Homo-oligomer: A and B are copies of this chain.
């Protein structure tokens, strides 16, 4: 991902590292709970945000309007991206973005029965640990109205760009311009109670902990 650099920029290989190892994939997936699901509908791509969770073997995502087209074993692309910083170089050309991104390809499977319930638990606990045991679990009717897909993590790639701009050792360094990174971070704010909540129902410990947790979902 670039602001104005190209595939051929010499610093690119140093700053952007394609990663194929499992640990990097898990790290990227762990750092968020919203992915962008890409499907093909009538030969046109459609990219929709949706909630995900994962375990050792699968990424689970919630059915959406886009997934109506997924009945026939169609291949999808699920992308999870964290934007970590804006890279300001001496030249416009070397500007860029620090980020971590994972792409997972495959033909997702619609879950049912116990597998569906287990996946819904994974989804819920990934976004809000402790909530599965705290909130009312789905009724049979609600479960029937929920569509959950499982996508194998077998075909996945991770790309990470980090660090300062790449033109600190080039001729542009002589321009005497400031260069560096403006870091970006996604943080949780204190829980905001539903106005419909009666007095006396405090924030449960697992939600308070979630909001406090290093103040960041990264």
Interface residues in chain A, defined as those with a beta carbon under 8 Å from any beta carbon in chain B: 1-9, 33-34, 36-40, 43-51, 62-65, 75-79, 81, 83, 85-86, 88-93, 95, 97, 99, 101, 103, 105, 120, 123-124, 127-128, 131-132, 134-139, 142, 145-147, 164-165, 168-169, 172-173, 175-198, 201-204, 207, 210-211, 217
Contact = CB atoms under 8 A, between A and B. Distances in A.
Contacts of A211: 182
Nearest to A131: B88
Contacts of A204: 178
Give the interface centre of A85, A95, A172, A182 by most chain B CB atoms within 10 Å.
A182
B4 A92 contact: no
Given A40-B43, A76-B45, A146 B95 contact: no
A75 B36 contact: no
Given A86-B127, A88-B135, A92-B138, 15 more contacts: A3-B51, A4-B124, A9-B145, A36-B47, A36-B81, A38-B77, A47-B77, A88-B128, A91-B136, A95-B135, A128-B182, A164-B196, A165-B194, A168-B196, A183-B189
A176 B197 CA distance: 8
Contacts of A146: 4-6, 93
A3 B62 contact: yes
A47, A131, A164, A182: most-surrounded residue (chain B CB, <10 A):
A47
